[in-house]
Structure 1
Amino acid sequence: MASLPIFITAVANSADEPSFPLLFTWSTHDAEIKEVLVIPDDDWLHSATVEKNIQDINETQLYEFGYEAGDILAEWTSEFDTDAVYAIQPDELSLLVEATFDSKGLEPTFEVLNIFDWFEERGLDLHNEWASHGNPTPLELLPPDEQIASLLQIASENGLIEAPEREEDYD
């Protein structure tokens, strides 16, 4: 079986003028969801601030619980064996991914593509599918982990991916 696609989302420092990430959330090739706060690079804070955001993430939390860009990039390098990841808002996410790589003087090793196109290429209209579930909240307004879980669930329910079976843990 081919590995599952990587679905990714982020929370930016600003809703109006995003320039750096506060949080990245992504699915893995075995359908797990990972989430990490990002410690701001000093250069980022010279040109922008951490504004109020939908997740209520503040600068103190980033420094206390976050990871530096280099650590995040190392994890992506070991986990992403793909040249494409998929996002609901690919332009904004590309900017945040580029900022993360750029903070270490690197070029992105993958492209951020539109998740709606991924579903459409497989014969499914994501907007219609989401609406048919009776969900009143648009996908892009869900908390990041719920957004990724919803995308995985829709893909799985429609036979677009086959999530790996999990071993039962018997104590």
Structure 2
Amino acid sequence: MASLPIFMTAVANSSDEPAFPLLFTWSTHEAQVKEVLVIPDDEWLEQHRIEPNALDLDEQQLYEFGYEASDILAEWINEFDTDVIYTLEPEAISLLIEAVYDIKGMEPSFEVQGIHSWFEERDVDLDDAVAQLGQTTPLHLLPPDELIIQLLQIAVEHGLIDPSDIPAIED
């Protein structure tokens, strides 16, 4: 079976005018869920501020528990052997990914596409699949790790990925 897709989401510094990421959450080809806080670059903070967000992330937490852009990029370069990453909000996530790459003078080696298209290409309506699970919270309002887990579960339940490839999801 082909390697699993990478699903990604993020939390930005602002919900109205996102300019840089505070947190990235993604699935791996082994169906693990990874999450990383991002230490804001000085250049980002010169032009933008960190607004209140759903996860209550603040600058102190980012500096205390976060990782520099170079560390995140090293992990992604090592881990993402794919041309495409799928996300619920492709335009917003692309902007945040590009901010991390731009600060290091690099460009992403992958494109960001909508998660709905990944499911549609496999004849699954994501919105219907969410409703069938009894999920009443819209996907975009789920915490980042829960969103990624939900997407993986839907893919398993519709036979799009092999459950034996996903140790974190119990049948």
| TM bracket, shorter-chain basis | over 0.9
State the identity %: 64
Aligned to 2:27: 27
Q: Does residue 1:115 correspond to 2:125, yes or no?
A: no
Aligned to 1:169: none
Aligned to 1:125: 125
SS across alignment from 2:156: helix
Aligned to 2:48: 48
Aligned to 2:162: 162
SS across alignment from 2:74: helix
Q: Does residue 1:16 correspond to 2:16, yes or no?
A: yes
Give deviations 1:102-152, integer Å, cap 9, x for gaps.
010001111110000000000000011101222110011100000000000
Unaligned runs of 5+ in 1: 167-171
Unaligned runs of 5+ in 2: none
Aligned to 1:67: 67
Aligned counterparts of 1:91 and 1:124: Cα–Cα separation in 2: 22
Aligned to 2:58: 58
Compute the RMSD of aligned alpha carbons.
0.8
- Following TM superposition, by how much is the alpha carbon of 1:82 offset from its aligned partner in structure 2, in angstroms? 0.3
SS across alignment from 2:57: coil
SS across alignment from 2:161: coil
Runs of 4+ in 1 over 6 A off after TM superposition: none
SS across alignment from 1:73: helix
Change in CA separation of 1:165 and 1:10 when aligned onto 2, cut-off 3 Å: closer
SS across alignment from 1:53: coil
Aligned to 1:90: 90
Aligned counterparts of 1:165 and 1:67: Cα–Cα separation in 2: 26
Give deviations 1:53-79, integer Å, cap 9, x for gaps.
001100000000000000000000111
SS across alignment from 2:70: helix
